[in-house]
Structure 1
């Protein structure tokens, strides 16, 4: 009897191991077998959505299945990201992580529905987009040195506009203040559009923004760019230095848009998605579309992307604590 039970246990264990191997092999060999949902935690039409759609079509071609963009905006991206965190880790629900969802939100929302460093499987950072600091031409400063001197001479007399409390532009503005030891008045708006309009009208004197939305006005002379947050100078603005060049390296982080999945995604599925995404980013037509947006393809490893997210959370927690930024 005892021998029979032992044989049954051995058979069950062998079967379970075989099933596990079968699942892994199936994931590697046949995944995906149905369409994939790509959760974009912001409304259609924004930079996150545009980057996602540039990548989604070609990613579907690489994988042999349609990748459908699913916009789930709200609460600074936390609604869609929270939804992704609770999805099945089977490779059929992916998402886009940004500096907002995986850097700022964990720092400013005390009751966030997800953990940015534990609830997701990183695949790769798809692209980075330079940020830019610009001023209304009425401000009597032609470069950063002159602007900082002017701001120090007139504490809180100049205002900067942001896309809202806890936005990328808000955190960038506060980090600039800390790094440059200046005092600027923060004016939050409901989105970058209204902030941009008031910067053009000199209702606020300074604007921190993603480069794509400000670039046409900089090129048209309606805004004066003082610095870009980018690893190197932007081809469209060759005469505008990076923050690092100006001795403000802390402010030099670009915005970014990465591919993620729920935690515990099988390693072979993760590897297949990473391989497909890197191939997509190498396509000339994808590079051209991203560059037109002002974005730079990245395609780093899952481990590198995970380390980047961890660093981003830590940085923003420091900013939020220093500036006393918290959101409900």
Structure 2
């Protein structure tokens, strides 16, 4: 193949360089022109997956392209989150970020191989689910004040169940101990199901959990709710105070579910995705399905979601340090 003269090679390379930015701008302007993959860093069927699928359908209607859910469970959400980080930053791979993957894991894992504050761009906090602290119905404490008095009177006798070491419920338990000055024994389970069963049976006295899975047992009188998290009381439990109301501000956080994309995703695409998410959350079918999950709808701006992630990460770091939690 003949070689171009130097002068012509320079002209050709100059033209190529000139067209690259225009091509990139065209791609951003046309986004999305093909299906989008949404990576969910947990197995199908859980809260994150349910919320992701509802939002994916809303985004499909707003963007005019299929949004395909790809479950990448394992290692507490770190495998799926790493896949989001490593994806091409072109807007065609987006991901779900949660309190576990964006706050608890970065605080508790010795090494992750990525930095959620650097390698991911927050798009929008979609929704948050209140957390709840409940006790076995036979525990002689009618409210939080009575329970704390009971726990302080007999340090180390009462135990709390969690979904496992490093889980949302584990961090809640440690934050409660710090804030209340009590000594509860942590009993980790493999998932919230068996933890919930043993709390109802009285094998453990206390349970920290997301609201949706515990609510039916509270409503049935098998567990007694002492506090919920969030800015306001939960409509389903109007007589139960928030953690803030009982003086436990550091436990008064909700389990959030938001959209993130890999770093270097073009700002124009991030802005389009944010706008589509906000519009999707305004759709009645999306709103009703998320509210049925006891979720509080948010749909905020990228910078607001970023600030929430930093705040919750700092909160988790305090609890992890105090409890000496370290995951590998």
Shorter-normalised TM range:
over 0.9
CA distance in 2, matches of 1:37, 1:144: 44
Q: Give deviations 1:246-284, integer Å, cap 9, x for gaps.
A: 111111000000001111100111111001000001111
Superposition pairs for residues 73-112 of structure 1, below 5 Å?
73-112=73-112
The 3-state SS of whatever aligns with 2:132 is strand
Pairing of 1:71-220 with structure 2 (within 5 A)? 71-220=71-220
> Which deviates further from its counterpart, 85-94 or 307-316?
307-316
Give the Cα–Cα distance (whole angstroms) in 1 for the partners of residues 169 and 135 of structure 2.
14
CA distances 1:146-191 after superposition (whole Å, capped 9, x unpaired)? 0000000010111000000000000010000000111100000000
Q: Is the 8 A contact 2:250 2:315 kept in 1?
A: no
Report the TM-score when normalising by structure 1: 0.95
User: Counterparts of 1:65 and 1:100 in 2: how far apart (Å)?
Assistant: 29
Where does structure 1 differ by over 6 angstroms across 4 or more consecutive aligned residues? Answer: 4-11
User: CA–CA distance in 2 between the matches of 1:17 and 1:122?
Assistant: 31
Alignment deviations for residues 34-67 of structure 1 (CA, whole Å, 9 cap, x no partner)? 1111111001110000000110011012111100
Unmatched runs of 5 consecutive residues or more in structure 1: none
Aligned with 1:117: secondary structure?
A: helix
8 Å CA contact retained: 2:58, 2:281: no
Note if contact 2:39-2:93 (Cα within 8 Å) is conserved in structure 1.
Answer: yes
Cα deviation for residue 18 of structure 1 reads 4.5
3-state SS of paired residue (1:118): helix
Secondary structure in 2 matching 1:208: strand
Mapped to 1, the partners of 2:158 and 2:185 lie a distance apart of 6
- Cα distance in 2, alignment partners of residues 151 and 143 from structure 1: 12
C-alpha separation between the residues in 2 aligned to 1:142 and 1:6? 87
Measured in 1, the distance between the counterparts of 2:101 and 2:177 equals 23
Q: Is contact 1:96–1:258 with CA below 8 Å preserved after alignment?
A: yes
Count of equivalent residues:
324
Map 1:240-259 to 2 at 5 A: 240-259=240-259
Alignment of 1:27-106 (within 5 A): 27-28=28-29, 30-106=30-106
Residue 297 of structure 1: aligned partner: 297
Confirm or deny: 8 A CA contact 1:211 1:294 kept in the other structure.
Answer: yes
Tell me the distance in 2 between the aligned counterparts of 1:221 and 1:129: 22
Query: Offset at 1:7?
Result: 11
Cα pair distance change 1:277/1:154, threshold 3 Å? same
| C-alpha contact (below 8 Å) 1:132/1:229 kept by paired residues | yes
Deviations 1:275-305 (A, max 9, x none): 1000001111111111110001111110111
Report if the CA contact (8 A) 1:163-1:195 is conserved.
Answer: yes
Instruction: Note the aligned Cα RMSD (angstroms).
Output: 1.7
1:314 is displaced (CA, Å) by 1.6
Q: CA–CA distance in 2 between the matches of 1:53 and 1:201?
A: 34
Q: Which residue of 2 aligns with 1:20?
A: 21
Partner of 2:139, secondary structure, is coil
Cα separation, 1, equivalents of 2:8 and 2:176: 68
Give the deviation of 1:107 after TM superposition: 1.1
What CA distance in whole angstroms lies between the structure 1 residues aligned with 2:11 and 2:279? 43
